[in-house]
Chain A
């Protein structure tokens, strides 16, 4: 169907016919569709990257391992008269674990272990009483003289390390272990057949194939060790907890105080503008710079305070959890201030006017009217700041978090390690076991963060449901 073009359209050289118009429109629509697909693909790529990250971590955290034990845990359990099929090594009592340890190591090794940390508060296992009294009254008494006795997890680790002596010679990731468990066993067999020199101490018959969750309850409660088979992250988790406590104690009062000042008390002035700009700038400073600040100020300049020397605590230096906590406090301060400011700004002005109207002072109004309404918002910000403090690594390295430490941190003046530090150290080690351990520690860290963030979301929901 063709329509004669009216005269006024003659100024255009060519007006598209319906067929041409449909074609053009079709082309345009196709282009639009392709572009939409392209934009969707970009979003999908970003989500896929997140999925790949989580996949990698879970994939490395579980899987089949090829393991050789010097002594079987079942035999140890059976030697105490238990049924190995229902009782695990970890189910043995403390006394039984100590007994099995004593039966498998030489007295000299036992003495050394007892000098590191004793087994019982009231009796000695390897040392004789006279000798113990003698070495404890010497000039440099060993740590075992005054420290508290070992606990169940600690002795379990010793039994594993010294008696069972597991050696993981190969490990597979989760997905290959599920899809084709045979392939892994065959791989190990082929390696044994072709290159026996790689495992000079073992024959293939000794190898046991079993599932291993690198992230398991024992891993969480066991102190660090140099052997990947028996190491744990208890010291790291406790270090992270101490760090968080010190960070909150410093950053929350100061951050909320600064936010109240800026939102409720400060009149627009050049100084207050400067404070606000400065806070925004601080939020953009790379975390490693805060680490350098902490190193120079808290670790070095304030060493007497952060090492606990002025409180009479003998500590070699200021590389303590207190220094790290204060550094993290400064780092999270801008986040706490900015989110608290937003929470305060969301409080309706009518509340303030009502408070001031009945004769309350400014501070009374803030304390009893404004703050209670703003607190859920402030808490959300605090939790997000904490999540940041838990995951930061670079500042901790700068202020000297120890990479290898087996003693639990006992106070603000302890040397410490933390979860991200463990992940960093283990990731950097070349042997394959450490990669799985780094994945397990990462998974722990992510679960911790997930719990914190869920807390923030719940708070936010409760807050938004509340009538104002």
Chain B
């Protein structure tokens, strides 16, 4: 560019406008990238919604039966989602019973007791658990956990497919979620609180359990809720280890133990979706549409849990920042 060109006002104008055009094109392109995420959400809602609508329009199905009856046997034409929700809930409860004590205690140890070196070693080790594919956990459940459980309680008590094995392994899978989110929350508690407790003569244990943990409780709760959402949506472990028969029940006819017995199998919502889809699934059949109705229920369950967790975190931030 010559000096003359620099002094030419028309040239500057031209350059500026071409720059502006490029900027606009770039901005629109980037905006489209951002909008794809919204399109994904809309796609999920639209897909699940329309296919579910087809399912509920089917003469064999009514929406009240779907939400209010307790037998899921598509071959017999009864579509009550509760047996599948029951399977999901049983596994989620067992998983939380495993993950909350182990995850929380490990987090207390790492945050309050461990030296920085120990913490620097164990935190990444726990996070390895998050990176292992869930199908490998499913293999682990069948070849390691189930035989151990059958050895302890007896082959006649524990079925080959059982809720307990699946629940424990899902619990192991979500330990790092509980522990790393809890550890973050515990570490975020200001040191002044700990020093105040020590000054009052409290021991390390008393400080940890009565001062630090309560102060971090909302963060811990948020982590637990996230872990729960993950357990509800977990698919491969439950498909492999919990079996493929929905646990149909009738209130008043079965004993409570038969409904919640962890030693036998129970199909979950995710398990049903996978098993149904892995066969030769023909479109526009009632089986095909039913997986979308279950998917929609699952979507709202996890969405609710995730929003709950975010709400808890928001409150926790207001407290300390």
Contacts and interface: CB of A to CB of B under 8 A. Distances in A.
Nearest to A436: B143
A8 to B, nearest CB: 19
B136 A289 contact: no
A394 B270 contact: yes
Interface in A415-460: 420, 423-424, 427-428, 435, 438-439, 442, 445-446, 449, 453
Interface string B163-180: 000000000100110010
A31 interface: yes
B105 A32 contact: no
Contact of A423 (B33, B101, B139, B298): B139
Interface string A23-36: 00000110110011
Interface string B289-321: 001100100110011011100100000000000
B116 interface: no
A131 interface: no
Contact of A387 (B131, B234, B292): B131
Residue from B128, B136, B137, B292 whose CB has the most chain A CB atoms within 10 Å: B136
B31 A427 contact: no
Interface in B17-47: 19, 22-23, 26-27, 29-38, 40-41, 43-44, 47
Interface in A93-116: none
Interface string B228-255: 0100111110011000000000000000
Contacts of A29: 203
Contact of B226 (A284, A287, A435): A284
A172 interface: no
Nearest to A254: B33
Interface string B243-284: 000000000000000000000000000100110011000010
Interface in A317-340: 330, 333-334, 337
Residue from A43, A274, A290, A362 whose CB has the most chain B CB atoms within 10 Å: A43
| Size bracket of the B interface | 35 or more
Nearest to A394: B235
Interface stretch (A51-59, A180-188, A221-229): A51-59
B113 interface: yes
A296 B37 contact: no
Interface in A240-262: 253-258, 260-262
Contacts of A260: 30, 33
A286 B298 contact: yes
Nearest to A384: B131
Contact of B132 (A282, A292, A391): A391
A279 B273 contact: no
Residue from A50, A256, A445 whose CB has the most chain B CB atoms within 10 Å: A50
B302 A284 contact: yes
Contacts of A36: 109, 113, 204-205
Contacts of A5: none
Nearest to A449: B131
B47 A297 contact: yes
Interface in B107-136: 108-110, 113, 122, 125-126, 128-129, 131-136
B184 interface: no
A42 interface: yes
A439 B143 CA distance: 10
B48 interface: yes
B87 interface: no
Given A36-B113, A289-B44, A398-B274, A391 B135 contact: yes
Residue from B133, B204, B209, B233 whose CB has the most chain A CB atoms within 10 Å: B133
Contacts of B43: 293, 297
A342 to B, nearest CB: 15
A363 interface: yes
A337 B139 contact: no
A435 B295 contact: no
Contact of A42 (B102, B232, B234): B102
A143 interface: no
Given A258-B36, A423-B135, A292 B274 contact: no
Contacts of B41: 278, 281-282
Contact of B29 (A255, A257, A394): A257
A257 B37 contact: no
B236 A46 contact: no
A352 to B, nearest CB: 15
A120 interface: no
Interface string B191-227: 0000000000001110001000000000000000010
Given A333-B37, A424-B239, 20 more contacts: A42-B102, A42-B104, A50-B128, A52-B144, A56-B140, A260-B33, A274-B38, A275-B37, A284-B229, A284-B302, A288-B274, A289-B295, A297-B47, A363-B26, A387-B131, A391-B132, A403-B278, A427-B142, A435-B143, A445-B133
Question: 6 nearest interchain CB pairs?
Answer: A286-B233, A391-B133, A257-B33, A42-B105, A39-B109, A261-B30
Interface of B: 19, 22-23, 26-27, 29-38, 40-41, 43-44, 47-48, 51, 101-106, 108-110, 113, 122, 125-126, 128-129, 131-140, 142-144, 172, 175-176, 179, 203-205, 209, 226, 229, 232-236, 239-240, 270, 273-274, 277-278, 283, 291-292, 295, 298-299, 302-303, 305-307, 310
Interface of A: 28-29, 31-32, 35-36, 38-43, 45-47, 49-50, 52-53, 56-57, 60, 253-258, 260-262, 265-266, 274-275, 278-282, 284-293, 295-297, 300, 330, 333-334, 337, 361-363, 387, 390-394, 397-398, 400, 403, 420, 423-424, 427-428, 435, 438-439, 442, 445-446, 449, 453
28 contacts: A32-B203, A39-B113, A42-B101, A43-B105, A46-B126, A46-B175, A47-B125, A49-B129, A56-B144, A57-B140, A253-B33, A254-B36, A257-B30, A261-B34, A265-B30, A266-B34, A282-B41, A285-B303, A289-B295, A292-B47, A337-B37, A363-B27, A397-B277, A400-B277, A420-B236, A423-B135, A445-B136, A453-B131
